[in-house]
């Protein structure tokens, strides 16, 4: 099971690196170019291809994310679940905003036509999610995010000290 956990987390991290790197590339390279030459078919094709790549990476992020949830769920406590819930909600917001920035269909075009601020918002949400994920991981390592039973197993048992006994 440990190998599945490792491989899944590895792929989760790689796909997230791809999503955040791709979003940064869109912000710094593609969006300014698209603003200057919005009728250039080559730039448009690059934007489309980058959108498709991000969509593929998002599918991997979501699948590996839920496999992560399945793997950690038996041992984690309510506090961990609460932070995980916030992370999933933010990931959902990030996914929907990415979709709308990549495909600003007519009904929402007014809000998402200006790509640059939305790409900045996406990177900020992404950074917050990475922070929450690190917190989740540390809470399992330190035991604060684990259920009582799992916590007892993961810590060294402490022998109670009887008053008056020799140390």
- List of residues contacting ligand HEM (CB under 6 A): 12-13, 16, 61-62, 65-66, 68-69, 72, 84, 88, 91, 94, 126, 129-130, 133-134, 136-137, 140
Residue 157 beta carbon to ligand HEM: minimum distance, rounded to whole angstroms: 24
Token readout for 19 is 């999503």
Nearer to ligand HEM, 30 or 129 (CB): 129
Residue 105 beta carbon to ligand HEM: minimum distance, rounded to whole angstroms: 23
Token readout for 55 is 């969509």
Helix residue ranges, H only, the chain: 2-25, 31-36, 41-72, 78-102, 109-112, 115-142, 148-154
Nearer to ligand HEM, 119 or 136 (CB): 136
Q: Whose CA is closest to 26, among 46, 45, 8, 40?
A: 46
Nearer to ligand HEM, 31 or 61 (CB): 61
Tell me the residue number closest to ligand HEM, measured at CB.
Answer: 65
Q: Apex CA 128: angle with CA 124 and CA 131, to 5°?
A: 140
């Amino acid at each position: 099971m440990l190998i599945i956990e490792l491989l899944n987390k590895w792929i989760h991290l790689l796909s997230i690196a791809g999503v955040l790197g791709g979003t940064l590339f869109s912000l710094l390279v593609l969006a300014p170019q698209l603003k200057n030459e919005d009728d250039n078919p080559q730039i448009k094709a690059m934007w489309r291809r980058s959108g498709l790549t991000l969509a593929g990476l998002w599918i991997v992020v979501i699948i590996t994310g839920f496999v992560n949830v399945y793997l950690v769920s038996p041992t984690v406590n309510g506090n961990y679940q609460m932070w995980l819930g916030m992370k999933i909600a933010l990931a959902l917001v990030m996914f929907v905003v990415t979709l709308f920035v990549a495909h600003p269909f007519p009904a929402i075009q007014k809000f998402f036509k200006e790509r640059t601020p939305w790409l900045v918002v996406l990177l900020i949400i992404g950074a917050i999610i990475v922070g929450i994920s690190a917190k989740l991981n540390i809470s399992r390592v330190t035991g604060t995010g684990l259920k009582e039973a799992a916590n007892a197993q993961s810590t060294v048992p402490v022998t109670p000290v009887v008053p008056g006994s020799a140390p």
